Structure 1
Amino acid sequence: MNGQTAVVLGATGLIGSSLVEQLLADDKFSTVRVLVRRPIAIQHPKLEVLITDFTDYDTYKKNLGTGDCIFSCVGTTNANVKGDKLLYRSIDFDIPINAARFGKEAGFKQFLLVSAIGADARSRFFYTRLKGEVEEMIAGYKFKSFHVFRPSFLVGRKQSERTGETLLTSLFRVFSFLIPSNYKAISGATVAKAMLTAAKQEKEGLSVYYYNEMIA
């Protein structure tokens, strides 16, 4: 097969897991390389699973390898890091930024990033400021195509779905007609499909996608 090679970061998350499935089913991609901290159950002739310590830069760079597209779906929550902002930053900032750095050196042409609504490097709020900083840093690497996806609340099946999130999902659905379009809940599978579609279009420069663009 002479298709493209895609690298996926965050392949076990809501968006990333759906994206991997869609990439494996798409003939444009002959290799789907996922960098993960621990083994995953999926097996497929096109799939390469590389266990990666993201703090070991030599291993990280080697495992990223060469290819065409980098899909960064990495993201944690304040609850998962128990409020540790340094740990939060090491995941949501360091992992995608280093992927961009290594990827640019290796000749990748496209970088596709899951960011967040309200991302702004000058925001007073930690989360939106962090996401904005990531966007600005990766933009500086001047990939041929840089796609930024800014979803609001994500819905879909998770490996560990919390009661609070289930309630919020229900509320978003009931009152969706009152919510501005950019802030509407969107499924992880829909974001993943939008990322795959954008990668196949190979539009040059910076493109930013909100709810309406991702749905389209």
Structure 2
Amino acid sequence: MKVAVIGASGLIGGYLVQHLLAEPSVQHVKILVRKKLDLAHNKLEQVLVNFEDPTTLESALQGTDAVCVAVGTTQSKVKGDMAAYRKVDYDIPVNSARAAAIQACGLYLLVSSVGADANASNFYLKLKGEVEEEIKKMDLPSVNIFRPSMLLGNRAEFRLGERIGQGVMRVFNWLIPSKYKAINASDVARSMVQCCLETNPPKWNILEYQQIMAKLK
């Protein structure tokens, strides 16, 4: 199996690349990046991509069996520029899904968010919902949408608010309804790998906390 990963520098994406490289059934892992990462492995290929150019995306995904997308920015990174935010959280997933459909990739996997809803009043949840709805219109053989709540794990960059939230969630996670429970980013990544390996994947599949964890049993 040949798998492409978009978002390899992120929390889930980093774990995903590790797990894919360790999986014997995966022969080739291609990461699509803006600039080369400090990673090397005999199964790994890094491809420099202009994510705003659909033709480069299509070319990069040629011959790929599965496309895994785990991208996301923050308002602090884009300094409150909602158009820049949308370019990352909407344009990249939608453009990559369109490219995957053109290249007839068998599987498309996307990290979204619990509560994603195109009709939500919250900007973030509305955007995630709009992405899901747009992808659902595309001619993709199989789509898995992962909707985790708060992610546990150490990012490359420090986020004070997130670290505080993680600490609180670790203490009170048992009190929280299952779909909103905090989850280890590594577990989300492992679940994505399991979905890649399924022999009869569903046409459209939404995975929240319980469904994500069930893939690991």
> What letter is aligned with 1:188?
A
Aligned pair count? 213
SS of the residue corresponding to residue 18 of structure 1 reads helix
- Among 106, 111, 116, the alignment partner of 2:113 is 116
Moved over 4 A (4+): none
- Among 201, 209, 215, the alignment partner of 2:213 is 215
**Does the aligned pair in 1 maintain the 2:63–2:103 contact within 8 Å?**
yes
**Does the aligned pair in 2 maintain the 1:10–1:74 contact within 8 Å?**
yes
Which digits, 9 at most, give the CA deviation of each residue in 1:85-144, with x for residues without a partner? 111111111111111111111110110010001101111121111101111111111322
> What letter is aligned with 2:27?
S
CA distance in 2, matches of 1:103, 1:70: 7
CA distance in 2, matches of 1:204, 1:42: 32
Displacement of 1:34 = 0.4
Range with bigger deviation, 161-170 or 120-129: 161-170
Segments of structure 1 that go 5 or more residues without pairing to the other structure are none
Displacement of 1:56 = 2.5
- Among 193, 203, 206, the alignment partner of 1:205 is 203
CA distance in 1, matches of 2:174, 2:81: 36
> What letter is aligned with 2:16?
L
CA distance in 2, matches of 1:71, 1:213: 17
CA distance in 2, matches of 1:113, 1:128: 15
In the other structure, the counterpart of 2:82 is 85
Displacement of 1:161 = 2.2
Displacement of 1:64 = 2.4
In the other structure, the counterpart of 2:133 is 136
CA distance in 2, matches of 1:107, 1:63: 13
Q: What is the TM-score with the length of structure 2 in the denominator?
A: 0.94
Displacement of 1:48 = 0.7
CA distance in 2, matches of 1:44, 1:168: 34
> What letter is aligned with 1:97?
V
**Does the aligned pair in 2 maintain the 1:66–1:103 contact within 8 Å?**
no
In the other structure, the counterpart of 2:21 is 24
- Among 146, 150, 153, the alignment partner of 1:149 is 146
- Among 179, 183, 186, the alignment partner of 1:182 is 179
In the other structure, the counterpart of 2:60 is 63
SS of the residue corresponding to residue 8 of structure 2 reads coil
> What letter is aligned with 2:17?
V
CA distance in 2, matches of 1:59, 1:163: 36
Displacement of 1:198 = 1.2
CA distance in 1, matches of 2:85, 2:211: 28
**1:13 aligns to 2:10 (yes or no):** yes
CA distance in 2, matches of 1:132, 1:95: 14
**Does the aligned pair in 2 maintain the 1:184–1:211 contact within 8 Å?**
yes
Segments of structure 2 that go 5 or more residues without pairing to the other structure are none
SS of the residue corresponding to residue 29 of structure 1 reads coil
In the other structure, the counterpart of 2:51 is 54
> What letter is aligned with 2:31?
V
